[in-house]
Amino acid sequence: MMDTKKQAYKLGQVYGLAAKYLPDVLGTPGKVTTAALTPLQAAGQAIMALHTNRAITPDIDVRLADIMQDVDPDFPALADLDLQGAWWAGYYNAGKIEAQGIAENRKAKGLSQAQLASAIGVLQKDISRWETGKVKPSDDTLAKIAAALGCEIGRLRDGNI
């Protein structure tokens, strides 16, 4: 089993991904702060919220299951400051999964950043910013990227090829 800090990071990723799809339910400052204190419980609640609100796709479900398989069910109920720090890192890096999904799907299609940019009518530097996670594309732009790459938006958001 991986060390506890890495598990906290993974739990932060789970919560961050879920909060991306349910920002009004999971992304409020109070909920996020509480989630950092009780990472395992919060991850379970986040996954339940996704299912209850029908905000989960098979791709998201598989991604979350992959992340959760590395987490020990005996993870501490309350996180100390070190674990909270690792959780916050995972939470904030969950947004980079979408950026990785764009890059991975573009490369799998055999396109350069310039070619993808030309296909959707943007500059190459825009593609670079999205792929590094510096800027998040709008939902409309994400739909154009998915169409150009011949994949579903969910594959881009979840970092799957």
CA distances from 77 to 28, 40, 46, 73, 106 (A): 21, 7, 16, 10, 40
Q: Within 13 Å of residue 14, how many CA atoms lie on the same side as its CB? A: 31
Q: Which CATH class is domain 96-157?
A: mainly alpha
CA distances from 144 to 24, 35, 96, 157 (A): 26, 34, 19, 13
Q: Within 13 Å of residue 37, how many CA atoms lie on the same side as its CB? A: 6
Token pair of 124 as six digits: 């190459």
Q: What pLDDT does 39 receive?
A: 96
> Residue ranges per domain, the chain?
4-93, 96-157
Q: What pLDDT does 95 receive?
A: 65
Q: What pLDDT does 97 receive?
A: 64
Which residues in the chain show pLDDT less than 70? Answer: 1, 95-99, 157-161
CA distance 26 to 47: 10
